[in-house]
Amino acid sequence: MSSTFGTLLRITTFGESHGGGVGVVVDGCPPRLALDEAAVQAQLDRRRPGQSRIATPRDEPDRVEILSGLQDGLTLGTPIAMLVRNRDQRPGDYGTLRDVPRPSHADYTYERKYGIRATSGGGRASARETIGRVAAGAVAEQWLRAAFGTEIVAWVQSVADVEAGPVAADVVDRAAVDATIVRCPDTAAAARMIAAVDAARHDRDSVGGVVACVCRGVPAGLGEPVFAKLEALLAQAMLSLPAVKGFEIGSGFAGTRLRGSAHNDPFVARGDGALGTATNRSGGVQGGISNGEPVVFRVAFKPPATIAREQRTADFTGLEVELAAPGRHDPCVVPRAVPIVEAMAALVLADCALMQAARRRP
Amino acid sequence: MSSTFGTLLRITTFGESHGGGVGVVVDGCPPRLALDEAAVQAQLDRRRPGQSRIATPRDEPDRVEILSGLQDGLTLGTPIAMLVRNRDQRPGDYGTLRDVPRPSHADYTYERKYGIRATSGGGRASARETIGRVAAGAVAEQWLRAAFGTEIVAWVQSVADVEAGPVAADVVDRAAVDATIVRCPDTAAAARMIAAVDAARHDRDSVGGVVACVCRGVPAGLGEPVFAKLEALLAQAMLSLPAVKGFEIGSGFAGTRLRGSAHNDPFVARGDGALGTATNRSGGVQGGISNGEPVVFRVAFKPPATIAREQRTADFTGLEVELAAPGRHDPCVVPRAVPIVEAMAALVLADCALMQAARRRP
Amino acid sequence: MSSTFGTLLRITTFGESHGGGVGVVVDGCPPRLALDEAAVQAQLDRRRPGQSRIATPRDEPDRVEILSGLQDGLTLGTPIAMLVRNRDQRPGDYGTLRDVPRPSHADYTYERKYGIRATSGGGRASARETIGRVAAGAVAEQWLRAAFGTEIVAWVQSVADVEAGPVAADVVDRAAVDATIVRCPDTAAAARMIAAVDAARHDRDSVGGVVACVCRGVPAGLGEPVFAKLEALLAQAMLSLPAVKGFEIGSGFAGTRLRGSAHNDPFVARGDGALGTATNRSGGVQGGISNGEPVVFRVAFKPPATIAREQRTADFTGLEVELAAPGRHDPCVVPRAVPIVEAMAALVLADCALMQAARRRP
Amino acid sequence: MSSTFGTLLRITTFGESHGGGVGVVVDGCPPRLALDEAAVQAQLDRRRPGQSRIATPRDEPDRVEILSGLQDGLTLGTPIAMLVRNRDQRPGDYGTLRDVPRPSHADYTYERKYGIRATSGGGRASARETIGRVAAGAVAEQWLRAAFGTEIVAWVQSVADVEAGPVAADVVDRAAVDATIVRCPDTAAAARMIAAVDAARHDRDSVGGVVACVCRGVPAGLGEPVFAKLEALLAQAMLSLPAVKGFEIGSGFAGTRLRGSAHNDPFVARGDGALGTATNRSGGVQGGISNGEPVVFRVAFKPPATIAREQRTADFTGLEVELAAPGRHDPCVVPRAVPIVEAMAALVLADCALMQAARRRP
């Protein structure tokens, strides 16, 4: 188990889908930040199930309690522990899953790794684990905004084979993202995405998609070569999320098809004496360090593994069986993944910002 | 700076393109491993410049000296320090780069981060930094092979818009990879890749590409949820390499277009009482933990930023200039990236294997 | 803030004397341990205030709730989060301390470090912070006992200038320790210690003391040279406790007065083919690694800084004032420190045992 | 093996008494420090053997080569690798030690831990391992001096039963310390210490001692509660040194005998608006955080285990033997330990200073 992430801003998450609750300890948050607790709750609300017809019908309020680290609304610089109680436990739902590992889920690998696993709800591999990340990310985000004016906005770029048109990374905001239940700011594409999710749910199946994210107002100089390059930490952060199979920054895989002369971002003068780049195929990062341009990346989410549709597979003993997973499932996780991606981005950026601050001459 | 990677098998790299040399300290290598020093050198030879006409003409022997951690060819369990001396320094080559940051290179961001930067050769952002990784990875690989029979093979999957046909991940070996100078086992595609590199060099330009990698013989149970999931560590490792803009495992970005019923890997019985999967869209990893199937991933390398072709850009003061980078440059780094990708994969797998071993009941 | 301790068995504590509660997340506990929750509570009961007339009259039940990481009484290998609610908050008690930093307490340094501090109860510098450590240590201890039969016993070796006679480190147990309220197994000395505490309380003053600890059944081979030597981690662990000013292992400071020929521990054959030592001035550790003999160390606790007796000092503005600290104070913390020292020892040993296990050939 | 120390200023040491050399990689040194290489060598010279008749007659020049991280004498912010070649190898000297583990040395525990050990010179447990620490500490010290005017001075406080009189911690400097070969600024005591060492050497025996250290000009606010309290990191740093058995800060073990009213350090106004303390029993640290007063601590070194005098002990098979260790041995290590203690103190303080800097609002 490795449930701690970050160097100076360090989070530790805990909890599974059963048990007393899930949560996080945020260690290293700078002191004297006026923490907006409602904004933390708001990001959790964007993550919770039951928000719309395209998400799982589990309807959990996911109210966060802040246990420590605050006094009169200000952070003390001490660990901020946040707890969300589990409410809607239905261990009975998962009875048939004791014997049959769900294909492409974590049942089999947890059993091989630990010799034991939570027999209900996916345990630590449940999407519920991300609650602590979102709460922590909301704290990090507030600090980034106060310190640098940083804005982080993620959205759904594609669902199955429905791709959004170009999204204006320099201006897109959360209101535009949340305007559709699928969280795609291209409303025409959004309608087709929703139709794709509806169709999958009707077929008791699931669909995947791509979440894009932009971070504006990231100061130049963040990222710690060579192993904690900004893109390396973002990649780790994103691939640590359930169901993620890919990450690309800036031009990504498509950029490999260009020649250097077409790919390079020419420098241009900025008004403030700094340099900017005329294009941003670098995705805001050069040599592992932010260059002041927007940080732009994309994250690939596979279709959820747990589906109600029958699948031929083997049980733990190797016998071939037909499995139709009981329980309520998300046919598509990407709309709910939007605040999770934002949270992980905020945690990485804030940690890098603190590391860079340490380098300043006293 | 964050030049240390890993938890139990931990490497620390040092050195830049100028100065006394580059190298690595490998801490935590298990004791009593019979280290094949020639095999370490062999991987360095696959990485070094000047191997073929499609790589940079810098011809450095890059001989490694093992300074510590061995006795009579056996590892002692103590730090293994390895040093490669710098030979072919031509600081004069880089004179004009003092004033003009190379577009999409690290000159500008290092200056912003540190307030100083190596004025020759790219300093720590030089590909030379990867020497320590390759030497360390070669040690890790030997331990993995001795412990589990693990085989790690990377190859060039695409160069610019030339894509290799399907490569048989279950059998491809390094001999097949090294059969062409571009390190693509699809010889027909390889010829076209080489032509693409030749054309780019002729145009004083550069091309990118994708390196694919398979790790066979990876025991089930490796990877530490939730932040050190196997794919998360691989993603960090790969995105920490120079010029990398993307990472995907298993079905990757393409998998987001499938439905769950088509994407899920059905379990099947293996002879040894374990389960396998009939397909491997998971890429050998489920829930962040290896499942015993081959680990398969791809890494996107952008076209090298340093090109001899003229580019319009700005100097450090913001004045528009025409830059034609002096020095000798790789028109395409992916063939040399093959052993580097293998090295980082080996380091991640060995570290995860040690962490999993710690969990066994005494 | 650095509220995480350990490498493979890693704890993160949170909480201060005000707020919702204090607790800990234990990450990396091996799976399938049958956790005795009552034994966790029992150690917390030994730590809690109000146990006897020589401790602070604050009487808090300190009931622990285990939020995660268990299923049917077995550990899952996932994070074990444990929470103890705060009950007995009397922020009013601390009113006069807003302006006057308590001498030798943390008020002034927290203010200088964070620019803010908890204005009641000492915040994170409160002894209450150790609750999470004790709960986590109780888990670690159970694993050590199950894995190796390890026994950890601490006791009060001295209070003020009252020193216990020699304690038989090879047999002393917790029953003998708890036989007196001062937790000294030398009952004659214990009576004099209690008298010393009573006298100090009568004078509205406080006394310090020394806690000794023995760990029996520690397998040879624990400790990671050079920076995580067993004694180095124990020293860090103990000096991280409130009020600790010194640590010594084996012969300690007294050993510096001996010659090598008198200090060295001769090896002798053990029945099991291993070697033991005829004496144990090494304190069970040689070259930073356990040798199989009992690990024996001592920890110096200063007299508590918060006393009701008047002290001349300065307020935050530098004005000289007379301070008589309001609130209820422990005249002597060492009896309550006994389970805390045991907890930290257990955490260090378990972490080192896991690290050593990682090194075994698969 | 755990050969890395520190969080933001992080060192990794390597090398043993045999092999190509010993050294260190210093990662995270702030950029643009004008590094005085001669001052690094000077501290190594104070550490090296053969300086005087009371140290081992091994005479190794221990010249350091800086391999990376510098340009024109300025640090680049990249890893600074430093190498000292081994010269005076006499593996033959240690022949008889293959079969007999030296009492109270690391031979037996390394064998138990790793299943292999360096059969000459003590390997990684050799005092030679500290060369990397001293070189790294000299870099850290230069940064501290440039940033805060910090001065770190260690001295020999006692040898065997010869104790120095009170040393003025506010003014003692290295010139006073180096005025005697035993590095004790109390010249009368120094003469008796030297006599004690001479007597021990004459008897082919060894003596221990205590090194004291003061760090002046340490800014308030350093140290990261709760596990990286300043005294906790100092304790870890010191107990990680060969032969150390104890650490105490401020009043230490003696302070446990005082009452709180006598032990507390009253606050007094300082001219600069800050508070100071009238006494310094806290040793410059309160609640784990520096308070601006001098940081004062003491380190206990046992008598060296390797002595030429015969000892009855057992060989690896358990047979009783008479051992007279071949080779050349230090009868007393404390004079050479002085720069080592200074180095470790500098590394801890610099790391803490960087961590505190990270907390400043941008």
Q: Which candidate from C1, C234, C359 shows the least CB-CB separation from D225?
A: C1
Neighbours of D70 (CB within 10 A): 22
What is the per-residue pLDDT across D275-328, written as a single tens digit (0 to 9) for each?
999 999 999 999 999 999 999 999 999 999 999 999 999 999 999 999 988 777
Q: Count the neighbouring beta carbons within 10 Å of the beta carbon of residue C65.
A: 14
The per-residue pLDDT for B118 is 87
Least-confidence region, from A265-269, A301-305, C96-100, D299-303: C96-100
CA–CA separation, C305 vs C17, rounded Å?
Answer: 17
HSE (side-chain half, CA atoms, 13 Å) at B337: 31
- pLDDT value of position D97: 73
Tell me if D339 sits within 8 A of D152, measured CB to CB: no
The alpha-carbon gap from C139 to the nearest alpha carbon of chain A, in Å, equals 16
Provide CB contacts within 8 A for A254, sequence distance 6+.
none
Residue C282 banded pLDDT, cuts 50, 70, 90: very high
- pLDDT of A132-174, one tens digit each? 999 999 999 999 999 999 999 999 999 999 999 999 999 999 9
pLDDT score at D255: 98
- Of all residues in chain B, the percent with pLDDT exceeding 90 is 86
Partners of A297 in beta bridges: A213, A249
CATH classification at residue C193: 3.60.150.10
The Cα–Cα gap between B36 and B64 comes to 13
pLDDT of residue B89: 59
Q: CA-to-CA distance for C3 and B90, rounded, in angstroms?
A: 48
Rounded Cα distance, A326 and D163, in Å:
77
CA atoms within 13 Å, Cβ hemisphere of B31: 18
Q: How far apart are CA A167 and CA A189, in angstroms?
A: 11
CA C327 vs CA B238, C16, C122, C202, C308: distances in Å: 57, 16, 11, 15, 8
Report pLDDT for C325. 81
Is some CB atom of chain C closer than 8 A to the CB atom of B220? Answer: no
Higher pLDDT, residue B59 or D253: D253
Alpha carbon B2 to its chain's center = 17
Q: Are C186 and C165 in contact (CB under 8 A)?
A: yes
Chains that touch A (3 or more CB pairs under 8 A): B, C, D
For D81-130, the pLDDT digits (tens) are 999 999 865 555 556 678 999 999 999 999 999 999 887 767 899 899 99
Q: Please write the tens of the pLDDT for every residue from C252-280.
A: 999 999 999 999 999 999 988 899 999 99
Task: Give the count of beta carbons closer than 10 Å to the beta carbon of residue C93.
Answer: 14
Q: What is the pLDDT of residues C165-193, one digit of tens each?
A: 999 999 999 999 999 999 999 999 999 99
Q: Is the pLDDT reported for residue B93 higher than 60? A: no
Residue A224 contacts B, CB cutoff 8 Å: yes
pLDDT at B348: 98
C206 touching chain D per CB within 8 A = yes
**What's the confidence (pLDDT) of residue D95?**
63
What is the reported pLDDT for A176?
98
Crossing angle of helices C334-358 and C37-47, in 10° steps, is 140
For chain B, how long is the longest CA-to-CA vector?
Answer: 68
Angle between helix A230-239 and B230-239 (nearest 10):
160
Instruction: Say if CB C296 and CB C212 are below 8 A apart.
Output: yes
**Which residue did the predictor score with more confidence, C121 or B342?**
B342
Minimal CA–CA distance to B256: which of A185, A334, A252, A231? A334
| Residue range(s) defining the domain that contains residue A264 | 4-358
pLDDT by residue (tens digit) across A204-248?
999 999 999 999 999 999 999 999 999 999 999 999 999 999 999
Q: Under an 8 A CB cutoff, do B248 and A245 touch?
A: yes
Where would I find the H helices in chain C?
A: 37-47, 107-114, 130-148, 174-178, 187-202, 230-239, 252-255, 260-263, 334-358
Please give the average per-residue pLDDT across B169-189, as a whole number.
Answer: 97
- What's the rounded mean pLDDT across residues B273-297? 97
DSSP β-bridge partners for residue D322: D312
Ordered alpha helix ranges (H), chain B? 37-47, 107-114, 130-148, 174-178, 187-202, 230-239, 252-255, 260-263, 334-358
Cross-chain residue pair B65–D20, CB shorter than 8 Å: yes
Task: State the complex-level ipTM.
Answer: 0.97
C-beta atoms of D67 and B81 within 8 A: no
Selected residue with higher pLDDT from C225 and C56: C225
Give yes or no for a contact between D335 and D181, defined as CB atoms under 8 angstroms apart: yes
Count of the separate structural domains present in chain A:
1
Sequence-distant (6+) residues with CB within 8 A of A29 are: A9, A69, A75, A77, A80, A139, A140, A143, C1
What values do phi and psi take at D244, rounded to 5?
-85, 135
A8 and D355 within 8 Å at the Cβ level: the answer is yes
pLDDT tier for residue B44 given thresholds of 50, 70 and 90: very high
A292 in Cβ contact with A276 (< 8 Å): yes
Size of interface A-C (CB pairs under 8 A): 155
Q: At a CB cut-off of 8 Å and minimum separation 6, what does C105 contact?
A: C122, C125, C305, C306, D286, D287
Q: How many CB atoms lie within 10 A of CB A175?
A: 9
Half-sphere CA count of D58, side-chain side, radius 13 A: 21
Average pLDDT, chain D: 94
Alpha carbon B64 to its chain centroid, in Å, reads 18
* For residues C101-129, average pLDDT: 90
pLDDT of residue A49: 86
Coil, strand or helix at A348: helix
CB A255 within 8 A of CB B302: yes
Residue in chain D lying closest to A350 (CA): D358
* C355: Cβ contacts below 8 Å, ≥ 6 apart: B8, B358, C7, C8, C222, C224, C228, D2
Residue C357 has its nearest CB partner, among B7, B353, B358, at: B358
Q: Which of B322-336, C17-31, C65-79 shows the lowest mean pLDDT across its residues? A: B322-336
Q: Is B135 an 8 Å CB contact of chain D?
A: no
Q: How many Å apart are CA B121 and CA B98, to the nearest integer?
A: 11
Q: Which of C73-82, D79-88, D222-231 has the lowest mean pLDDT?
A: D79-88
**Quick check: A58 pLDDT over 80?**
no
For residue C362, is pLDDT > 70? no
Rounded alpha-carbon distances, angstroms, from residue D348 to A314, B264, C202, D11, D37:
55, 51, 41, 11, 21
Mean pLDDT of A112-129: 87
C23 has a chain A CB within 8 A of its CB: yes
Q: What is the mean pLDDT of chain A?
A: 94
Of the candidates A236, A299, A130, A308, the one whose C-alpha atom is nearest the C-alpha of residue B255 is: A299
Q: Per DSSP, what are the bridge partners of residue A22?
A: A84
Residues forming beta bridges with residue D300, ordered by sequence position: D210, D246
What is the C-alpha separation between D285 and D292, in angstroms, rounded? 8
Pairing of strands C311-314, C267-269: unpaired
Nearest residue of chain B to residue A209 (CA atoms): B256
DSSP β-bridge partners for residue A207 = B259
The single-letter DSSP state of residue D353 is: H
Q: Is the pLDDT reported for residue B91 higher than 70?
A: no
Q: In this complex, how many residue pairs, one in chain A and one in chain D, have their CB atoms less than 8 Å apart?
A: 45
Determine, for residues B264 and A103 on separate chains, whether the beta-carbon distance falls below 8 Å. yes
pLDDT value, residue B56: 63
Q: Grade residue B122 by pLDDT with cuts at 50, 70 and 90.
A: confident
Measured CA to CA, the distance from residue B26 to residue B45 in angstroms comes to 19
**Of how many residues is chain C composed?**
362
Q: Can you tell me the mean pLDDT for B153-166? A: 98
In the predicted structure, residue C60 carries a pLDDT above the cut 70:
no
The percent of residues above 70 in pLDDT, for chain A, comes to 95
Cα separation, A342 vs C336, in Å, equals 45
* DSSP letter assigned to residue D303: P
Model-level pTM?
0.97
Q: Which residues contact B53 (CB under 8 A, 6 or more apart)?
A: B181, B198
Give how far D4 is from chain B: nearest CA, Å: 8
B266 touches chain A (CB under 8 A): yes
Q: What is the mean pLDDT of residues A93-98?
A: 66
From chain A, the residues in CB contact with D81 under 8 A are none
| Alpha carbon D305 to chain centroid, angstroms | 18
pLDDT at position D29 is 97
